[in-house]
Amino acid sequence: MRDTAPRQRSQTGATLPPVMLMTLGVLAALGPLAIDLYLSAFPAMVVDLDTDPTGVQLSLTGYLLGVAAGQLAFGPLSDRFGRRGPLLIGLSICVGASAIAAFAPSLEFLIAARVVQGVGVASGAVIGRAIISDLSSGDAAARAFSVMMIVGNVAPIVAPSLGSLIGAAVGWRGVLATVGVVSAALIVSVVLLLKESHPRDRRLLLGSDRGSRPRALSELRTRGFLGNTLAMAFSTGIMMAYIASSPFVYQQMLGFSPIGFGLIFGANATAMLLVNWWSSRLIGRYRVRSILGVGIAVMSSACAAVLVLVLSDAPAVWLIAPLSIAVGAVGAVAPKATAEAIAHVPRIAGTGSAVLGTLQFLVGAAVTPLASAEGAVSARPLALTMTTCAVLMSAAFLFAQPKRSEGARTVRRRLRR
């Protein structure tokens, strides 16, 4: 039985203006841009900073931890003070941290700057999801999340190749400075294009009514929110394991050049974008949860295939196909799990978005050093990490299915509102 709470809300869903979706998509793209843009520079950073692959990976781990902490801050702040103000503050933090990272004299300094940069970047994704929840719901919200992620997925397609070109021209420091330039442009876009979506009367209600806030926070404990949030988080774990290991798998195990790595990385991101677009077209004809379930099944099967190939010592080139399938399936999983989760916390969309995003990036931060533990020597850590995340993602998806009694109570509660 499908959780019917989101379906009750779908009747009131509204389509968001394209210019707003485009802006929200670019805000969502800022996070992966700050990751994917400098991936091809990892080998050069190892030499320049006199460290090893694990040391460079810590700059990515630090960034992910910063994003996780930033979402916990900006989500509740946006529920209390509105969306625009906290968003502009976060983007400003990102501009300053990007400038510091570009001139980092040591690995330790770089890691610290990346943590702060992650805190600022977090405002874009967490508040963008809350804005969609403010203005839309149900199937319309699921489509909006899909479109937002389609725009956001352009970053993984172009970022590695663009980062390779920028790195060849001005080095990896120029690559990190580019994130600050994009953040500055987003500040202008937010000021000009995004209106406040969280009215003052709703903010005052959540901030002053002692009874309403505990009731709203109880929504975070529902099976629908927790299960779909964890499914989203572990799908991100699979993606981050791939991202962290891909420079070494493709460039050092398979012999791709930095440009070649950018091309194959972009091809996999394109597959994710196309799957996202295609699966969003199915919304309305099929339940969002059914689409999500198929995506999780395909993603899990591909991860299992990677593990089998690695354990059987198959040629490394055989990994290209299942890795591409696993990455492509993210396009069907991530936006649908997000929509299903946020639909359960309509009164505290910012806080719910923060919890979702924080778990997402904490899982990402945990798996990145695990997946690349043996660098270019073996893909076994990558395969084990991806498969473990796939098992946990599938379990979370099953947990999100409510009991019949719980589903009936949820419908009655939503109708009373």
pLDDT grade, residue 414 (50/70/90)? Answer: very low
What is the arithmetic mean of pLDDT over 76-88? 87
Cα 342 versus chain centre, distance: 14
CATH number of domain containing 121:
1.20.1250.20
- Residues in Cβ contact with 179 at an 8 Å cutoff, skipping those fewer than 6 apart: 30, 33, 34, 37, 94, 98, 101, 117, 121
What is the arithmetic mean of pLDDT over 229-244? 89
Highest mean pLDDT of the ranges 89-103, 242-256, 401-415: 89-103
What is the arithmetic mean of pLDDT over 330-353? 83
Residue 12: give the domain boundaries.
5-416
Burial pattern 307-339, b for ≥16 Cβ within 10 A else e, equals bebbeeeeebeebeebbbbbbbbbbbbbbbbbb
Please say if the pLDDT value at position 408 is more than 60: no
**8 vs 126: which has the higher pLDDT:** 126
pLDDT tens-digit series, residues 172-194: 888 888 889 999 999 998 998 88
**Residue 154, both tokens:** 């352009």
pLDDT grade, residue 6 (50/70/90)? Answer: very low
pLDDT at 1: 36
State the Cα angle at 70 between 66 and 76, rounded to 5°. 160
Please say if the pLDDT value at position 220 is more than 80: no
**59 vs 97: which has the higher pLDDT:** 97
pLDDT grade, residue 377 (50/70/90)? Answer: low
Residues 91, 96: Cα–Cα separation, whole Å: 9
pLDDT at 156: 62
Residues 274, 67: Cα–Cα separation, whole Å: 27
Please say if the pLDDT value at position 153 is more than 70: no
Please say if the pLDDT value at position 8 is more than 50: no
Taking residue 80's Cβ as centre, other Cβ atoms within 10 Å add up to 15
% of the chain with per-residue pLDDT over 90: 20
Helix (H, G, I), strand (E, B) or coil at 254: coil
Please say if the pLDDT value at position 109 is more than 60: yes
Please say if the pLDDT value at position 201 is more than 80: no
**40-44, 135-139, 285-289, 401-405: segment of lowest average pLDDT:** 401-405
Q: What is the DSSP string of 163-177?
A: HHHHHHHHHHHHHHH
pLDDT grade, residue 5 (50/70/90)? Answer: very low
% of the chain with per-residue pLDDT over 70: 86
pLDDT at 9: 39
Contact predicate 222/348, CB 8 Å: no
Q: What is the DSSP string of 234-247?
A: HHHHHHHHHHHHHH
Please say if the pLDDT value at position 90 is more than 90: yes
Q: What residues are paired with 286 via a beta bridge?
A: 283
**Residue 389, both tokens:** 């995340």
Q: What residues are paired with 283 via a beta bridge?
A: 286
**283 vs 373: which has the higher pLDDT:** 283
**Residue 81, both tokens:** 């003070």
Structural domain total, the chain: 1
pLDDT at 376: 60
pLDDT tens-digit series, residues 290-333: 899 999 999 999 999 999 998 888 887 888 899 999 999 988 89
For residue 49, report the phi and psi dihedrals to the nearest 5 degrees: -95, 5
Cα 57 versus chain centre, distance: 18
What is the arithmetic mean of pLDDT over 262-290? 84
pLDDT grade, residue 411 (50/70/90)? Answer: very low
What is the arithmetic mean of pLDDT over 217-225? 78
Please say if the pLDDT value at position 258 is more than 50: yes
What is the arithmetic mean of pLDDT over 348-366? 81
**102 vs 42: which has the higher pLDDT:** 102
pLDDT tens-digit series, residues 18-46: 788 888 888 888 888 888 788 777 777 88
Name the average pLDDT for the chain: 80
**393 vs 246: which has the higher pLDDT:** 393
